[in-house]
Amino acid sequence: MKYTLKKAFEKILLYCRNNIVTNINDEFTKFTGFTKEEIIGKSLIEISCILRIDSQVHPGNVDSEYDCYMFTKEYEPREVTISCMLSSSEYEKIYSFKEKPNSRIEDKNMYFQQLCNDNQVGAAVYSFPDLILLKDNEKHLGFLEYPYNKKENSIGKSLKETLTGYVNSNAEKRFLDIIQTGNSYYLKEVKYDRLKRGVTYWDISLVPIKIKGKIKYLVQTITDVTEKVENRMLAEEKTKQLESILESMYDGVYVVDKDLNITESNIRLRKLVYDYDSFKKVSDALNTIKLYDFEGNLITSDSMPVRRVFMGKKVEDLRLTAIRPDGVFNFSYNGSPIFDKNGNVEKAVISVRNITENVKKDQIIKKQNGMLNAIIENITDSLIIIDENGQYTMVNKTFKDNFSISAIEPITPEILMKKVECYDVHGNRLLLQNLPSRRVSRGESFSEYRIDYKFKDGHVDTFEVNGAPIYDSEGNFIAGVLVSRNINERLKNEETKLMLAKYDILNRTIENLNLNYTLFSYPDAKIKYINRKAFNYLRKINPKLESIDSCIGMDSFEIYMRNMNEKVEIESKLKEVIANNGGSFIFNRKISIAGKESFHKFIFQPLYNFDKNVTEIVVIGIDMTEELEAKSKMEKALKLQDEILTNIAHELKTPLNLIYSTNQLMEMYLKNGSIEEYREKLGHSANIIKQNCFRFMRLINNIIDTSKIKSGFLNLSLSNENIVEVVENIVQSISEYIKGKGINIIFDTDIEEKIIACDTNKIERIMLNLISNAVKFSNTEKNIYVGVSDKNNTVEISVRDSGIGIDKKYLNKIFDRFYQVDKSLSRNAEGSGIGLALVKSLVEIHGGKISVDSEVDKGTTFKIELPVGTIAEDEIACDKIITIDNKIEMINMEFSDIYSI
Ligand code: ADP
């Protein structure tokens, strides 16, 4: 009984009424670690939670016996059999807990205990097949998520509950697999992505533990390898990326070990290197190619870039030229060492880039830049590049020279404005904001914009400025370009050209005006130009002058002036004119060369150049000789006219006196009634009056006719006549008129007929004049020969006498009006000296010529040559019927000078 009691007493008991615990025995406390205070008064549901059997069974549901795991206060699992023992009352129940013998895990598996205690890996023991968590360590708890990461919340719970997302996960599959097959699992880096904290990777071992041939537990070890996996994956990713970078790199890259073997390389390298497959060591390359640095030094295997890297040096953009069988290439090398743990260079990473094209381009650009710079620096235009603020980013040498800026002196538009004042063409001062640089910076373009730069020393330079902004493809202002040019010379040239053009006109005018023209420099007075006329004039003064060319450069005063006085006079006048800033002066000169006088008027004109200085003098000489001669001729003519008037007065007076005195005599006879007595005398008087009236008429006719001819009013009444007959008729008439007066007129002709167009009246007057002269100037022997001879195209009429003749020196004067050789010689005759002048004019209007041949005291011959030619009948004038009376009157008139007749 005692045993029974003891036995009964030893039982672990829990008393309850109406599902509320009313008591527990001490054994219960001993077994579970829970005290009465912790248990009594709790409901059975609460108790199942405290004892962690709630996942397996509810005590109220236990009718008789139930095997399950319960847990002590210290979370130790105890495999028990729960039995329900009825008590007296129906509402009172007693539950007994009986541990299964040898069921404790720690007793069974020390290794497992150890595993848990180590806490190196997560370790857990699950019941089989319910997968109730029986035991685990802190590490394992770390895998579970709140609230199951706390022992009090996870122990006793099934895996379904504690592992988030377990149901239908691949983890569940594994567990089910083990449950079915009993096989162990060792899984590495299992991905579990159902936790709230994200994807995790675990190394897991699942080992079923058999007891007496039956699986009793599942022991799980679990190591979180997420970080490791992630790192590795990251590394793998990076490696992949690196590889793709390496392969896609433009540079060839290779890694070389200490023995110069290439351990890694990318595709690019294999393409870059000549015959890559034929060598393993880097230095093998030198077998087929030659490498030089840019200074031309040969690269040996000892000086290859890789060697430098192994010496611990970094290689940066080392440029080498490779002469290869397939051409010449330029490469740029970069290299870095990779050090081992001990700090020794283990490997070298070299990258190589083909820069052949770049080098070529660089060389071209360098050359072009050089050229461009040389051009920019050497152009005669000044060049400025400006930024968007109108500041200079570049100015060339010419610009600096133009404004006397030294090479190192800084220059800005502001500084420039302090050196010079700027004006536009209208003379308006330009302010800073209107300078070309500012205008271009505002986007303006302009060309041939003229600016006057006035410098501090007062001198002004004129520039022509072109400006344009430069934009990029998006329309942003990149720079402004200003090109300017000093146009002082051009302006001067334009002015000079204008002046030259004026000179040209002047020159031509002078040449056309036939003026003397000389240009000499001033003040050194060297002849620069001389025209033909001036040269001819100078040669008269200086016969030694050879040619126009030889005059150039000679001292103009020396060859122009005849004496020192002239030189001094002209030089001082020139100075005076120039000092008074303008004008010219005139210098008159008369020279006499070989008895011939010439008069010149010289105008000295200083020429002012662009700078308002006189460097040249123009001398224009006007030959006044003819004008002065004409003037003296005029004076002579006026004098002659006076003489003529006196002459005429005298000529008129003589017959008038005679008429007047004869008239007085006749009046006297009339008064004293003695007309009859003096009949004979009165007849003579009447004759005298008549003859003198003829003389009047002849003189007046002659004056009128010569005047008419001179002024072109005397018209010929032409008709076709036989000239032989016309001459013969007048000779015959005169012969009859002078019959018995001791005068013989002999007519001779070699032709009978020659019809020419002539005015018979005028021919008669010609003949009368000549024959009356022949009579007048014959002394004793009065034989007069009149001849007509045929000269084919002309007819020659001659009148010859053997009278007093005419001295040779007067021969060409007798045809002048009122010229008489010797008035005293004409004692028995009168004359006015007008007859021959009229004859000559009449011959000439017939188209003929008159000439005279004479010898003093031997006689004179006048010859008239008339052209042979007729006129048409309808042109013949019909108003000239001359009666014989008229003819006699005419002869009377023409011979009225001769008293003896
Ligand atoms: P006039 O007979 O009225 O003097 P003329 O004109 O006819 O005027 O003649 C001019 C001069 O020429 C004369 O005065 C004379 O001296 C000279 N002369 C003209 N005819 C002869 C002649 N046949 N013989 C000599 N002298 C002549």
pLDDT in tens, 575-613: 888 888 778 888 888 888 778 888 888 899 888 876 778
Q: Whose CA is nearest to atom 9 of ligand 1?
A: 833
Residue of 820, 853, 860 to test ligand 1 pocket, by largest number of atoms within 8 Å of CB: 820
Predicted pLDDT at 372: 83
pLDDT at 866: 95
Q: How many other CB atoms sit within 10 Å of the CB of residue 826?
A: 16
What ligand 1 atom has the least distance to the C-alpha of 832? 3
Atom of ligand 1 lying closest to residue 799 CA: 23
Q: What is the pLDDT of residue 153?
A: 92
Output the CA 820–ligand 1 centroid distance in Å: 6
Alpha helices in 51-204 (DSSP H): 105-108, 110-118, 138-143, 151-154, 159-162, 170-181
What is the per-residue pLDDT for 886? 66
Say if residues 123 and 140 touch (Cβ distance below 8 Å): yes
The answer to whether 216 and 77 have CB atoms below 8 angstroms apart is no
d(CA 612, CA 397): 32
Give distance in angstroms: CA of 635 to centre of ligand 1. 26
899 three-state secondary structure = coil
Residue 646 CA, chain-centre distance (Å), reads: 86
Compute, in angstroms, the gap from residue 651 CA to the centroid of ligand 1: 15
Q: Which residues of the chain have pLDDT under 70?
A: 1-9, 87-90, 107-109, 610, 821-832, 875-886, 899-901
Instruction: Quote the pLDDT of residue 665.
Output: 81
Q: What gap in Å lies between CA 850 and CA 143, rounded to an integer?
A: 165
Alpha carbon of 422 to ligand 1 centroid (Å): 92
What is the C-alpha separation between 109 and 113, in angstroms, rounded?
A: 6
Sign of torsion, CA 307 308 310 315? negative
In this prediction, residue 6 carries a pLDDT of 44
Report yes or no: 3 and 15 within 8 Å, Cβ to Cβ.
Answer: no
Please give the number of the atom of ligand 1 that sits closest to the Cα of 805.
Answer: 25
Give residue 494 CA to ligand 1 midpoint distance, Å.
Answer: 73
Which atom of ligand 1 lies closest to the CA of 773? 20
Cα(885)–Cα(351) distance, integer angstroms: 149
Mean residue pLDDT across the chain: 85
Closest-lying ligand 1 atom to the alpha carbon of residue 820: 14
Chain center to CA of 155: 98
Calculate how far, in angstroms, residue 712's C-alpha sits from the geometric centre of ligand 1. 25
- Separation of alpha carbons 279 and 288, rounded Å: 10
Output phi, psi for 648, to 5 deg: -60, -45
- Nearest residue by C-alpha to atom 23 in ligand 1: 774
Which residue shows structure tokens 């040389």?
374
Distance 804 CA to ligand 1 centre (A): 10
Q: Residue 668 contacts by C-beta under 8 Å, 6 or more apart in sequence?
A: none
Q: How far is the CA of 778 from the centre of ligand 1 (A)?
A: 11
Choose which residue among 778, 806, 822 to substitute to test ligand 1 binding: the one with the highest number of ligand atoms within 8 A of its C-beta.
Answer: 806
What is the whole-number distance in angstroms between the Cα of residue 817 and the centre of ligand 1? 11
pLDDT at 664: 84
The model carries a pTM of: 0.38
What number of helices (H) and strands (E) belong to the chain? Answer: 29, 35
pLDDT for res 824: 55
Q: Give the list of residues 6+ apart from residue 854 with CB closer than 8 angstroms, or none.
A: 805, 806, 808, 811, 860, 861
pLDDT digit string, tens, across residues 454-496: 999 988 999 999 999 999 989 899 899 999 998 988 888 887 7
Name all residues whose Cβ lies below 6 A of ligand 1.
Answer: 773-774, 776-777, 801, 803-806, 814, 819-821, 831-836, 860
Cβ(557)–Cβ(538) below 8 Å: no
For residue 377, the model assigns a pLDDT of 82
Ligand 1 atom nearest to 830, measured from its CA: 3
pLDDT in tens, 746-779: 999 999 999 999 998 889 889 989 998 898 888 7
